[in-house]
Structure 1
Amino acid sequence: MGDTTNLPKYDTPAAAKLLHSVYSVTNIQNKVRTLDGTKVTYSAWTKLFTLHCKGYDVLPHIDGTDPPAKTDPTYESWVKIDSIVLQWIYGTLSDDLLVHILDTDVTAREAWVKIHNIFLNNKGAHAAALESEFNSLKLVACSSLDDYCQKFKNIAEQLKDVGRTVDEALLVTQLISGLP
């Protein structure tokens, strides 16, 4: 074995502190796609974002877990990590959504709840609009057959987000009925 005299000793809790893995993320867009509500649906985005948070051990910042008390010695570190998770949220929203969410002095959890409310609070009205779009979509309104099929898939995913699952048979029937 080599000389270990210059290696740090981890015999105290302060010396044993290592940099949290959250600080190693340099570009969140490489891991979580941008939520726009159309190409990337709310349910797909939340799955990706939650998975990312689990992997970096920051899920308590969005899942409703209470933060440490302001008097807790870990509070300052929690605030810094929370601001990074909040930056992740902001960095994975389309510009249209960002203007509705962006705020000062909010936690990652508060921003997470705002996004949830945007997509799921008006479920009935949103579902009705999506169902109307689903039922009236025609190939002539699309640039190609691929675009047509993708739009059906996207609308079906958005309907799933609001609790209206479209089964395969209905999807195929509606797709065929929109063809010339």
Structure 2
Amino acid sequence: MYIVTNIQNKVRPLDGSEVTNPTWVKLFKLHAVGYDVLHHIDSSRPPDRASADYLSWKKINAVILQWIYGTLTHGFLVRVLEDQSTVYEAWERVKILFLNSKGSRAVSV
């Protein structure tokens, strides 16, 4: 049984101005710790597809992806959303998106 929370009550959508990436990351990780799913965000590898744990992992992965995608504004969502993604891969795409934009701002200043 899985309890799904409306994460938007806890983590406001990442828009890059009112809610910045560092703030979003802190709030999101706090939420992930509270639901004992932080291991999906770090570089922990998923279980092998033949493993008895894989189906449970896959369901939890889908819920956390919904949390990530549900807390991105449309402009960021279309740049991060991909089929067949793991939470870790989506998390890294968000990180790279902001690392790249941080470098762009530094060059343009």
Structures share fold, TM-score greater than 0.5:
yes
Q: 1:107 aligns with which of 73, 86, 89?
A: 86
Number of aligned residue pairs: 109
Answer whether contact 2:4 2:63 (CA < 8 A) is retained. no
Aligned-pair distance for 1:116?
0.4
Rounded to whole Å, the distance in 2 between the matches of 1:37 and 1:89 is 15
Q: CA RMSD in A?
A: 1.3
The match for 1:52 is 31
Between structure 1 and structure 2, the one with the greater Rg is 1
Rounded to whole Å, the distance in 1 between the matches of 2:60 and 2:8 is 18
Q: What TM-score, normalized to structure 2?
A: 0.92
- Determine if the alignment matches structure 1 residue 67 to structure 2 residue 51: no
Segments of structure 1 that go 5 or more residues without pairing to the other structure are 1-18, 133-180
| Equivalence map 1:8-47=2 (5 Å) | 19=1, 23-47=2-26
Segments of structure 2 that go 5 or more residues without pairing to the other structure are none
Q: 1:68 to 1:34 in 2, by over 3 A?
A: same
Q: What TM-score, normalized to structure 1?
A: 0.57
Aligned-pair distance for 1:126?
1.9
Question: Counterpart of 2:82 in structure 1: which amino acid?
Answer: D
Runs of 4+ more than 6 Å apart: none
Identity %: 52
Aligned-pair distance for 1:108?
1.1
The match for 1:85 is 64
Aligned-pair distance for 1:103?
1.3
